[in-house]
Structure 1
Amino acid sequence: MTTLSLPARAKAEGAEIHWGDESGLRSDDVRGRSYAPKGQTPVVRVSNKRHGLSVISTVTNKGEMRWKIFDGALNADILIDFMQRLIRGAKKKIFLVLDNLRVHHAKPVKAWLAANKERIEAVLRAQQQPRTQPCRDPQCRSEAGCHQARTGANQAAVGQGNLQPSAKRAAPTRARQKVL
């Protein structure tokens, strides 16, 4: 099935379309903005420790967003957990549109999807289709919010403990209510 025929099929089955994507947040951004008195070299103190979080999210055509923050790279177990949480309260079948990331083709993911085919179906975007990812905009906003939270004097103090609250603060209010 292509993403072009998906809306008609979703309407016929009474299903909901979720557009999914993954992204990473890192605390090692150095922007180079600084200030120094005339004649002195500006110095910006930054931490040499790198902290990162990953996020997987979906957004519907109505703008409802579901997301999960996790450590490390996306693997089959995390994707299956996210999909379980996604269908937990769903009243309709879900068509989950994903890119062709390797983990989307993993055997455990395919087995789980086959066992839950009445409640959720993954639709993988073909490589030749244009990159239309509605999830990118909220992720860009969350990444920008994390950048804003790290600027200035507190940039060196950013660690794993306060990167996640920055990501949650930067997320849209509507999405904050749908954390999985």
Structure 2
Amino acid sequence: MEQHIELEHVKAAMKQAKERRMYERYQAIYLHLKGTPMTAIADILNRNRMTVSSYIHTYENGGLAALQLKHSSGAPTRLTKEQQDQLKQTVAYSVPHEVGFTAKHNWTLELIATYVEREWGHRYSLRGISKVMERLGLSYTKPTFTLAAADPEKQRQFAEMTFPDLKKLLNHENDHLLFEDESMIRDYQAIQKTWFLRGKQRIIPTTGKHRGVKLLATVDYRTGRIVWQEDEHTAETFLTFLQKVLSAYPAGSIVIVLDNARIHHAKLLQPFLEEQKGRLELVFLPPYSPQLNIVEGLWKWLKSSVINNVFYSTVTEIRLRVGQFIDEIMKHPHAIIDRLCVRL
């Protein structure tokens, strides 16, 4: 009876976990209480046995509270809690001209420091105000576009209800939770800032033609495993890719989260999906919601690592570099999880 109560407490903690790493720790304890061998838990979590052992030892000595991640509070700030909240809201959700900085539409450290001094009389150096921004959870990042046709309410429902429910079903009703997407990798993708000689500009040669390779890939939310292939983006090739995914996961039920591309809804797929009912399920994202698909992060990672600021003279060379990139990152699945999966 006591073990049943423990299991229920751990299960409740798993449901409430907002961080991927905390969910993993609770999952390890849940499996341990269910009698799963430590080596099997390590395989399921894709962690080493020593890590799983430390989770269990910590739990046995201090309970669920001892498993909490420890975050450093950092150095104290001169701003009150209310002032910090106002500063965070202002920088995150207003542009400078809306709070009195005429013709200024982008926040810089200098502008933020000026705003703080104007509002509360505290002077900060640029380094000091940078540290304040870090403590408030703000970072200097490039904005991104969002699709105007997207439905924020459907996106919220997916992020707060649908996806958490899918995570809860892992190890219960669903054995594998994957995300899928397609992309086109061109011979020269984009020009981005890079280091070069002062006063000079790096020159990237190009033929002016647009050659490239088309890719399909899944990312395993729990293990970081990537299954991919180069192929055209058609219903036929998508069907072939689904068969490849099934071969890569010979046992257990699979849920694939993906967008609403036409090839994903093709009539050609229906007999196959009906045949695989109970083994394979497709869950569709809200329309126009690429930010909810973790494979989008894989494409950005790939492009920034091997495509941006580089020209490839042949498609064969692109294929080679793409393959090398994926082979290399798959040697470190935890890096894939930390970079792509923890944001959902």
**TM-score grouping bracket, smaller chain normalisation:** 0.7 to 0.9
Match of 1:145 in 2: 305
C-alpha contact 1:138 1:172 (8 A) present in aligned 2: no
1:87–1:45 CA distance, 2 compared to 1 (3 A): closer
Name stretches of at least 5 consecutive residues in structure 2 with no aligned partner: 1-157, 332-344
Pick the aligned partner of 1:65 from 207, 226, 229. Answer: 226
Task: Report the residue type matching 1:134 in the other structure.
Answer: I
Cα distance in structure 1, aligned partners of 2:270 and 2:262: 12
Query: Which is helix-richer, 1 or 2?
Result: 2
Pick the aligned partner of 1:77 from 233, 236, 257. Answer: 236
1:168 lines up with 2:323 in the alignment? yes
1:20 lines up with 2:180 in the alignment? yes
Structure whose alpha-carbon radius of gyration is higher: 2
What number of residue pairs does the alignment pair up? 167
The structure whose RCO (Cα within 8 Å, separation 6+) is larger is 1
Q: Deviation string for 1:76-123 (max 9, x for gaps)?
A: 111111110111142111101111111111001122111111321111
Cα distance in structure 1, aligned partners of 2:290 and 2:315: 35
Cα distance in structure 1, aligned partners of 2:261 and 2:291: 14
Query: Which is strand-richer, 1 or 2?
Result: 1
C-alpha contact 2:188 2:307 (8 A) present in aligned 1: no
1:114–1:10 CA distance, 2 compared to 1 (3 A): farther
1:51–1:4 CA distance, 2 compared to 1 (3 A): same
C-alpha contact 1:16 1:60 (8 A) present in aligned 2: yes
1:94 lines up with 2:274 in the alignment? no
Cα distance in structure 2, aligned partners of 1:101 and 1:142: 22
TM-score of the pair, normalised by structure 2: 0.42
In the TM superposition, what is the alpha-carbon distance from 1:7 to its structure 2 partner?
A: 2.3
In the TM superposition, what is the alpha-carbon distance from 1:175 to its structure 2 partner?
A: 3.4
1:50 lines up with 2:205 in the alignment? no
Name stretches of at least 5 consecutive residues in structure 1 with no aligned partner: none
TM-score of the pair, normalised by structure 1: 0.76
Task: Report the residue type matching 2:296 in the other structure.
Answer: R
Pick the aligned partner of 1:159 from 296, 311, 314. Answer: 314
